[in-house]
């Protein structure tokens, strides 16, 4: 079975929405920067960036981790269709893992919900994303019509921190957690008001993690550029 990052039923994004690609991990088990691994002749970073911008996200923020990666990623993205709409975010809390990337990226984003995906979980599910965006539209409309202003901070699948929507209002809470040394993403998530979206058949692959050369080789062998 081939792996497709986006299927033909992708729901068009009709409102201003933004995406955050977490690409600055240490890649210790992979042995090299996952974002720069070649997939179909392009770095994985570029493949994902082009996919996300093709879906209609207004801006793509790339959390680059350490500052020295900024120039590397900028060169990789140069000339791609995603370049004009890409913003890079350097960790303000260096060496603090994915929570630091989440903080850096959301801090750069315009107010609202941001779709967050990790570079090492690249099997994007357009169907799941569409349902998450529909839920964001629903809660925003409901909050506006009722005047309550109450909205969830996160829209996600149970037990999964990424391939999810995060609201930028949590940036101060992220900073507080990082400053205190609490770096566990799931612990923070358990404290945030959340709207749940259930998986449908065939969507579990969106959470396959490419941590090792073997895992990436399997993914690359099954991947189709469509």
126 in Cβ contact with 190 (< 8 Å): no
User: What pLDDT was estimated at residue 146?
Assistant: 74
Q: Give the confidence band of 4 by pLDDT, cuts at 50, 70, 90.
A: very low
Strand partners, 62: 21, 88
Mean pLDDT of the chain: 86
199 known ligand binder: no
120 known ligand binder: yes
Q: Tell me yes or no: is domain 14-219 CATH 3.90.550.10.
A: yes
b vs e for 58-96, b when ≥16 Cβ sit within 10 Å of the residue's Cβ?
Answer: ebbbbbbbeeebbeebeebbeebebeebbebbbbebeeb
34 known ligand binder: yes
Share of residues in the chain with pLDDT > 70 (%): 87
HEC assignment per residue over the chain: CCEECCCCCCCCCCCCCEEEEECCCCCCCCCCCHHHCEECCEEHHHHHHHHHHHCCCCEEEEEEECCCHHHHHHHHHCCCCCHHHEEEEECCCCCCHHHHHHHHHHHHCCCCEEEEEECCCCCCCHHHHHHHHHHHHHHHHHHHHHCCCCCCCEEECCCCCCCEEEEHHHHHHHHHHHHHCCCCHHHHHCCCCEEECCCCCCCHHHHCCCCCHHHHHHHHHHEECC
User: What pLDDT was estimated at residue 33?
Assistant: 82
Q: Give the confidence band of 2 by pLDDT, cuts at 50, 70, 90.
A: very low
User: What pLDDT was estimated at residue 61?
Assistant: 96
Q: What is the pLDDT of residues 83-124, one digit of tens each?
A: 878 999 999 999 999 999 999 999 999 999 999 999 888 888
- In this model, does residue 140 exceed pLDDT 60? yes
Q: What is the pLDDT of residues 163-222, one digit of tens each?
A: 999 999 999 999 999 999 999 999 999 999 999 999 998 898 888 888 788 888 888 888
Domain boundaries, the chain: 14-219
């Amino acid at each position: 079975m081939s792996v497709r990052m986006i299927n033909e039923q992708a729901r068009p994004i009709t409102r201003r929405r933004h995406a955050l690609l977490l690409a600055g991990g240490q890649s210790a088990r992979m042995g090299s920067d996952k974002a720069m691994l070649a997939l179909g002749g392009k770095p994985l970073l570029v493949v994902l960036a082009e996919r996300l911008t093709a879906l209609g996200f207004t801006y793509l923020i790339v959390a680059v981790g350490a500052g020295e990666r900024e120039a590397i990623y900028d060169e990789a993205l140069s000339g791609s269709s995603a370049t004009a709409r890409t913003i890079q975010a350097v960790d303000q809390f260096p060496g603090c893992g994915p929570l630091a990337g989440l903080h850096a990226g959301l801090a750069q984003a315009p107010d609202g919900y941001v779709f967050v995906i990790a570079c090492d979980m690249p099997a994007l599910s357009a169907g799941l994303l569409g349902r998450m965006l529909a839920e964001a539209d629903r809660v925003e409309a409901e909050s506006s019509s009722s005047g309550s202003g109450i909205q969830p901070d996160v829209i996600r699948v149970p037990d999964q921190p990424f391939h999810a929507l995060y609201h930028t209002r949590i940036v101060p809470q992220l900073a507080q957690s990082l400053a205190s040394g609490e770096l566990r993403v799931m612990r923070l998530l358990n404290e945030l008001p959340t709207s749940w979206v259930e998986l449908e058949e065939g969507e579990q692959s969106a959470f396959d993690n490419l941590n090792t050369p073997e895992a990436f080789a399997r993914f690359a062998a099954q991947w189709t550029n469509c």
